[in-house]
Amino acid sequence: MTGAAINVVADSLPTARRVTPPACPACGVPRPARAWSAVVGGLAGAAVCAYCGRPRGWRAVTVELAAIAGAVWIWQRNPAPKEFVLGFLVGAILLLIGLIDLEHRLILHAVSLPAAVVVGAAHALDPARGLTKTLLGGLVGLALVLGLYLLGGLFARLVARLRKHPLDEVAFGFGDVTLSAVIGLAVGWPGVIVALLLGILAAGLFSLGYVVWMVARRRYSAFTPIPYGPFLILGAWVVYFGGREVFQPLVGG
**Rounded average pLDDT over 207-218:** 82
97 against 225, higher pLDDT: 97
Ranking 58-62, 175-179, 204-208, 241-245 by mean pLDDT, the lowest is 241-245
Q: What percentage of the chain reaches a pLDDT higher than 70?
A: 88
pLDDT of residue 167: 60
If pLDDT is split at 50, 70 and 90, which confidence band does 88 have? very high
**Rounded average pLDDT over 110-115:** 93
Backbone CA torsion sign across 224, 112, 73, 122: positive
pLDDT of residue 160: 65
Q: 58-80 pLDDT, tens per residue? A: 899 999 999 999 999 999 888 88
pLDDT of residue 253: 47
pLDDT of residue 140: 96
Q: How many CA atoms lie within 13 A of 238 on its CB side?
A: 19
pLDDT of residue 46: 80
Rounded distance between C-alpha atoms, residue 221 and residue 227, angstroms: 16
Rounded distance between C-alpha atoms, residue 229 and residue 199, angstroms: 9
Which residues is 48 bridged to in the sheet? 55
Residue type, 25: P
Q: 114-146 pLDDT, tens per residue? A: 999 999 999 998 888 889 999 999 999 999 999
pLDDT of residue 138: 95
Rounded distance between C-alpha atoms, residue 155 and residue 119, angstroms: 33
pLDDT of residue 238: 92
Is the model's pLDDT at 217 over the cut of 50?
A: yes
Is the model's pLDDT at 56 over the cut of 90?
A: no
Nearest CA-CA partner of 146 in 120, 184, 119, 105? 184
Question: What single string gives the DSSP state of each residue in 72-134?
Answer: HHHHHH---HHHHHHHHHHHHHHHHHHHHHHHHS---HHHHHHHHHHHHHHHHT-TTT-HHHH
Is the model's pLDDT at 199 over the cut of 80?
A: yes
210 against 65, higher pLDDT: 65
Is the model's pLDDT at 15 over the cut of 90?
A: no
**Rounded average pLDDT over 1-29:** 87
118 against 247, higher pLDDT: 118
If pLDDT is split at 50, 70 and 90, which confidence band does 170 have? low
Question: Quick one: three-class SS letters along 187-248?
Answer: HCCCHHHHHHHHHHHHHHHHHHHHHHHHHHCCCCCCCCCCCCHHHHHHHHHHHHHHCCCCCH
pLDDT of residue 94: 94
Ranking 6-20, 92-106, 185-199, 231-245 by mean pLDDT, the lowest is 231-245
